[in-house]
Amino acid sequence: MGFMLLVITATSNEMQAVFPDAPRVEQGETAEYECNGRTLLLAVTGVGLVNASLMTGLVLGRDDVDGVINFGIAGAYDLDEFPMLSTCYCWQETWPEYGLLDEEGNVDPKGINFPQGKINDQLIWNRVKLNPVNDAETMHVTLGQKWLRASSVTVSSVTGTAERAGWLKLACNANLENMEGFGLAFGAGRMGLPFLEVRTISNLVGSREAEDWDLKGALKGLGLAANQLFTA
């Protein structure tokens, strides 16, 4: 199709789970990979919003990238709504820590009067709205019929308490928690590129109990999701 897609993950383990037969890509590296007749550019950012933003800026400086797909694992705020190991695509990314923090812990994204920038002439403060169905069609990839549509939050610190998890869920109208999505979504949006964020549920946000985590299963789910997405 003559369409170069950037496939980006936070960690090498996630990339290996997505494409088990691809060359291993370490943090800060890229590699080209052929998948069902498509040429993909694989990139691993490293964990966190800063790493994600740095790598996105570097890679999108190329003039041959036509779309961005982010694969990763995520925590869910409610496992009844978003069950363990389910696959989700995101319609929104929120950065809850940007803005003015008050004495009660609330953040006003407009409180310091500095927007992040613009996407499609719209000011971006702490939230990026995504268009996953349209962007998947533009990139000629196929969303799974049983995948769940989710609103995601990008945090700098993994939420370690149920109280904080509950607050983020309500304050941000959120279903999932991750550490890179906002930076990737904002970078792609600023470049005018279609963007898709696909995540599998690895844990219950706020819990550190072993029974509320399944990293191995979530990583395996990424490979299954990629097989669906890149159906020939």
The residues of the chain scoring below 50 in pLDDT are: 1
- From the list 51, 75, 184, the residue with the least C-alpha distance to 130 is 184
Neighbours of 139 (CB within 10 A): 21
Quote the pLDDT of residue 104: 86
- What's the length of the chain? 232
Quote the pLDDT of residue 3: 81
- From the list 167, 113, 141, 154, the residue with the least C-alpha distance to 38 is 141
Q: Tell how many helices (H) and how many strands (E) occur in the chain.
A: 6, 13
- From the list 149, 150, 165, the residue with the least C-alpha distance to 77 is 165
147, 82 contact by CB (below 8 A) = no
Quote the pLDDT of residue 1: 45
HSE-up of 216 (CA within 13 Å, CB side)? 2
Q: Which residues pair with 124 in a beta bridge?
A: 117
Q: What pTM was estimated for this model as a whole?
A: 0.96
Superfamily of domain 5-229: Nucleoside phosphorylase domain (3.40.50.1580)
Structure tokens at 173: 């109208």
Q: Which residues pair with 154 in a beta bridge?
A: 178
Q: Which residues pair with 67 in a beta bridge?
A: 5
Quote the pLDDT of residue 231: 86
